[in-house]
Homo-oligomer: A and B are copies of this chain.
Amino acid sequence: MSTQNSVAIALTPGPTTAPAPAAPGVTHSKLDNGMEIVVIPDPRTPVVTHMVWYKNGSADDPLGKSGIAHFLEHLMFKGTKEHPQGAFSNLVAELGGQENAFTGYDYTAYFQRIGKEHLETLMRFESDRMTNLVLSDEVVGPEREVVLEERRMRVDNDPGAQLDETLQATLFAHHPYGTPIIGWNHEIEELSREDALAYYTRFYTPENAILIVAGDVVARDVEALAAQTYGKIPARAQAPSRRRPQEPPPRAVRMVTLADEKVEQPSHERIFVVPSYTTAAPGEAEALDVLAHMLGGGPASVLYETLVGEEKLAVSVGAYYMGSALDDTRFYVFATPAEGVELKNLDIALDRVLAKFIATKISEEDLRRAKTRMIADAVYARDSQVSLARWYGEALATGLAVKDVADWPDRIEAVTGAAITEAAREWLDKKRSVTGFLLPKEAVDA
């Protein structure tokens, strides 16, 4: 099928989770049935990006039904009474457009990119499948096999992905972020048509959805089209609840080792539980964001200069703050050891660099450089209509507001060196972390 279902793999840091600077003229409104509408003017091309975000992701999977959010994302391409399986995707292709869908921990989103004259058509089709999805056992069974095969390919054949699943499960004692987005194999196997429909009925409601349209459009027109399409779906009593069990305070240092003959390159990773942009105290998430850049954002970063440059213990090293999350989230530090360097020694060196970073006053020059690069990266990424739309979707789906995206550069500018040191001291506490070693099989047998 033409859908690309992308499961966010937490190990792959990317720029997409940092909020973008606001585009001028972004509007945020609501239909009577509760559906949110964000319009992002982008007059540069006659193409629009059309996205619907649902405020439910894998962390909202009912207990014992892990993978249902992602499975339903697949099933959303199975057609409605009016538009049978394939009709929507074929139409998008015929009109020269692209489509995609993805499931995250906190949201599920569907999007298309197409000539702006087709926006209404997209809205008609997308609003249709928000409420009229038809699922038969004949369709659900084979698609479950597709998902199981996807899991086999992505996880069962990849020791790094297996390690990552164990790391996340170890890091989160209680919160569902510890469960893989795609689900545990034995639970995917049991997902039924009834499970999918119950989930669909619970979460695919206008009150739970956000429409994002970016392109050469006028907010008034988009809102009118949305009212004629999405607006026809009746409101439910209220948006579905997404209350999740929260973590107990972490108390012990954890470590996971996976050795497999398929591993060609050992690697080291440490993940800390830290506040997200949604859960942090004012300024704290911004400090963590700058901290990640200073520690591991490229060759000028502290970890890179020390471990790769000076000490030659690693060939690569990085840090990444997964700031977009409804609940407390992850801060990653990861490294690939230099030839012959034991992971254990790399681990000790990492502890040392972090301790020294916390003990050393941050220079104004380093701070300025990090902020300038972060904001420049964001400006650059904003140049992509899809990235820009995605930032707004991600922010709103994780409990932030349009304003939070808009004033993000100001808040980054306001971060002080002292706040970064304090964030590192408070949150990069080893007790809050799990460390992963990925090793070739023979290294453990030796």
Of the candidates A162, A174, A252, the one having the most CB atoms from chain B within 10 angstroms of its own CB is: A252
Interface residues in A173-206 by Cβ distance below 8 A to B read: 173-174, 178-179, 184-187
Using a Cβ–Cβ cut-off of 8 Å, how many residues does chain A contribute to the interface with B? 33
**Neighbouring B residues of A162 by C-beta, 8 Å:** 251-252
**Neighbouring B residues of A259 by C-beta, 8 Å:** 253
C-alpha spacing A178/B247, complex, angstroms: 13
Q: With A64-B244, A173-B166 known to touch, is A254 a contact of B256 (CB < 8 Å)?
A: yes
C-alpha spacing A246/B188, complex, angstroms: 12
Query: Is residue A14 within 8 Å, beta carbon to beta carbon, of the partner chain?
Result: no
A185→B255 contact, CB < 8 A: no
Interface residues in A254-269 by Cβ distance below 8 A to B read: 254-259
C-alpha spacing A186/B174, complex, angstroms: 12
B173→A245 contact, CB < 8 A: no
Q: How far apart are A138's CB and chain B's nearest CB, in angstroms?
A: 27
A256→B245 contact, CB < 8 A: no
> CB < 8 Å: which of B64, B248, B256 contacts A255?
B256
Q: How far apart are A132's CB and chain B's nearest CB, in angstroms?
A: 31
**Neighbouring B residues of A248 by C-beta, 8 Å:** 165, 184-186
**Neighbouring B residues of A66 by C-beta, 8 Å:** 174, 245
A63→B245 contact, CB < 8 A: yes
Interface secondary structure of A, over-half rule:
mixed
C-alpha spacing A102/B282, complex, angstroms: 45
Of the candidates A63, A162, A246, the one having the most CB atoms from chain B within 10 angstroms of its own CB is: A63
A169→B165 contact, CB < 8 A: no
C-alpha spacing A346/B63, complex, angstroms: 39
**Neighbouring B residues of A174 by C-beta, 8 Å:** 66, 169, 179, 184
**Neighbouring B residues of A63 by C-beta, 8 Å:** 63, 245
A257→B251 contact, CB < 8 A: no
Query: Is residue A292 within 8 Å, beta carbon to beta carbon, of the partner chain?
Result: no
Query: Is residue A356 within 8 Å, beta carbon to beta carbon, of the partner chain?
Result: no
Q: Specify the chain B residue showing the minimal Cβ separation from A255.
A: B255
C-alpha spacing A349/B186, complex, angstroms: 35
A254→B186 contact, CB < 8 A: no
**Neighbouring B residues of A251 by C-beta, 8 Å:** 162-163, 165-166, 258
C-alpha spacing A178/B252, complex, angstroms: 15
**Neighbouring B residues of A64 by C-beta, 8 Å:** 243-245
Q: With A169-B174, A173-B178 known to touch, is A254 a contact of B252 (CB < 8 Å)?
A: no
Annotate A374-388 by CB proximity to B: 1 below 8 A, 0 otherwise.
000000000000000
Q: How far apart are A362's CB and chain B's nearest CB, in angstroms?
A: 25
Query: Is residue A170 within 8 Å, beta carbon to beta carbon, of the partner chain?
Result: yes
The 5 A-B pairs at the shortest CB distance, nearest first, are namely A169-B173, A252-B258, A166-B252, A184-B248, A64-B245
A residues with a Cβ closer than 8 A to B are 63-64, 66, 162-163, 165-166, 169-170, 173-174, 178-179, 184-187, 243-246, 248, 250-259, 436
